[in-house]
Amino acid sequence: MRAARRFGGAEVRGPVRVYPGGMGHRPPRGIHPRPWKTGHTLLAVVLALIMTVTVVDILAPPEVHLGPFLAAAPAVTASFAGPRITACIGAVAVLAQAVVAIVRTSLIDLNHSFQLIALILISVFVTFFAHLRERHEKELVQLRSVAEAAQQVVLRPLPHRVGPLRIASVYLAAEAEAQIGGDLYAAARTADGTRLLIGDVRGKGLEAVGDAALLLGAFRGAAHRQADLPALVAYLEGTVSSDLDDPGAAAPGGTPTEAFITAAVLDVPDDVPAVDLVNCGHPPPLLLRDGEVVALEVRRPAPPLGLTEFMGSAFTAETFAFEPGDTLLLYTDGVIEARDQAGTFFPLTDRLAGCAGRTPHALLDRLRQDLLAHAAGGTLGDDAAMVAVSRAAPTQENANVSLGRPTVRYEAQGAARRPPFGPPAGTFR
């Protein structure tokens, strides 16, 4: 059981994680699955099969032989039980075949002798297969434990409360065995506000974990030191580009990697009802206010991180109103690209509009259920992440900010590269 941690004086709750295609979400508190009940039921069915075949075979006419059906007992048991139980069921089946042979003729009867030998060999084989399956399951458990530990390091839980903000997050992995992938999010506390990051690494699954860890580490290390948002994004760009320029980042065949990361970086001041946004090729955040949804489209979007050097783009922070009672939804393209059986994309804007008045946790829980219900087969084609943020009452009004009318506050050159020592030039806190 995970203990609560502290983040900027706030309690941290783990994100809701769902893994379509194999792993379900955590059961509600107080409800614990009992797989042993299913195993006991199947075991009872197998024993009933042995008993039924034995009785019918004894009562059947001499020309009818049902002994071969006993081989199904250890074979079925190997599919759900371990090698020991499988071996015991095989022994019971052999004993039942011996009883049939003694009652009907004798153990040295040619027909029954071959049936006994065949049953013994089958029991040995399926017991060995049960051993291999059990070992494979133990390896999967270890891999899942490693993935869980990696998630705690790479994709840390976001705080439930930080400053005037209420935050909730949800991560849905596209791969059944993968608990982390190319989607990422993080939050960092500054002296006068909170900075948020959401991104999506090119690719998916465990192959993208390295790039995600690189960006998250750079954000956590510099978010509280950079004076303005464009300088922070320029530093993140320098980190990503430096990694791409590293010869060790090339693929095993010698071909350089073509990785890039779409990202949205936000700065939410504590005492101003506004949010500053730098968007690097990421889907625009959605603002929910009084049942209406507004996409925070920036006028000067930047290319994804890792590509800005080649385009000579500048990072520009634009300001949007973010007032008490508003809810901001950050998400990755795995959400809006989910399709149903007819190929229709998930209508995120419409579903979000129906979630007015909900807390961030309740809102994400509703969207998660709608998304999985919409996706064909209940599985996603790409990892998906969502972060919901709502604001409490501010300490200062700012009447100069209007919804949907951004005003440029500051900008920095996107081609800025990280110096050999430390972050790029800028003012640090």
- Domain of 305: which CATH number? 3.60.40.10
Based on the fold, state whether residues 407 and 290 are members of the same structural domain: yes
| 42 within some domain | yes
Based on the fold, state whether residues 310 and 407 are members of the same structural domain: yes
147: pLDDT confidence band, cut at 50, 70 and 90? low
Based on the fold, state whether residues 101 and 177 are members of the same structural domain: no
Q: Is the pLDDT of residue 322 over 50?
A: yes
Q: Which of 36-40, 333-337, 422-426 has the lowest mean pLDDT?
A: 422-426
What are the pLDDT digits (tens) for 76-133?
A: 999 888 999 999 999 999 999 999 888 888 778 888 888 899 999 999 999 999 999 9
| 307 within some domain | yes
Based on the fold, state whether residues 109 and 183 are members of the same structural domain: no
What are the pLDDT digits (tens) for 277-316?
A: 999 999 999 999 999 999 999 998 899 998 876 666 678 8
Based on the fold, state whether residues 139 and 181 are members of the same structural domain: no
Based on the fold, state whether residues 325 and 204 are members of the same structural domain: yes
What are the pLDDT digits (tens) for 151-180?
A: 667 788 888 999 899 999 998 877 655 556
Q: Is the pLDDT of residue 26 over 70?
A: no
Based on the fold, state whether residues 193 and 79 are members of the same structural domain: no
Based on the fold, state whether residues 52 and 134 are members of the same structural domain: yes
Final residue of a domain: which of 86, 112, 144? Answer: 144
| 428 within some domain | no
Based on the fold, state whether residues 136 and 174 are members of the same structural domain: no
At residue 242, the pLDDT reads 80
Query: What is the domain count for the chain?
Result: 2
| 422 within some domain | no
What are the pLDDT digits (tens) for 389-415?
A: 999 765 444 434 444 434 344 444 444
* % of the chain exceeding 90 in pLDDT: 43
362: pLDDT confidence band, cut at 50, 70 and 90? very high
Burial of 149 (0-12, 13-18, 19+ CB in 10 A): exposed
| 373 within some domain | yes
| 130 within some domain | yes
Based on the fold, state whether residues 140 and 164 are members of the same structural domain: no
More confident residue, 311 or 263: 263
| 281 within some domain | yes
Final residue of a domain: which of 88, 111, 144? Answer: 144
Mean pLDDT, the chain, whole residue set: 78
CA distance 173 to 383: 5
Based on the fold, state whether residues 140 and 170 are members of the same structural domain: no
| 6 within some domain | no
Based on the fold, state whether residues 204 and 308 are members of the same structural domain: yes
At residue 142, the pLDDT reads 82
Contact 383, 174 (CB under 8 A): yes
Final residue of a domain: which of 144, 179, 209? Answer: 144
Contact 86, 130 (CB under 8 A): yes
Domain of residue 207: give its range: 159-413
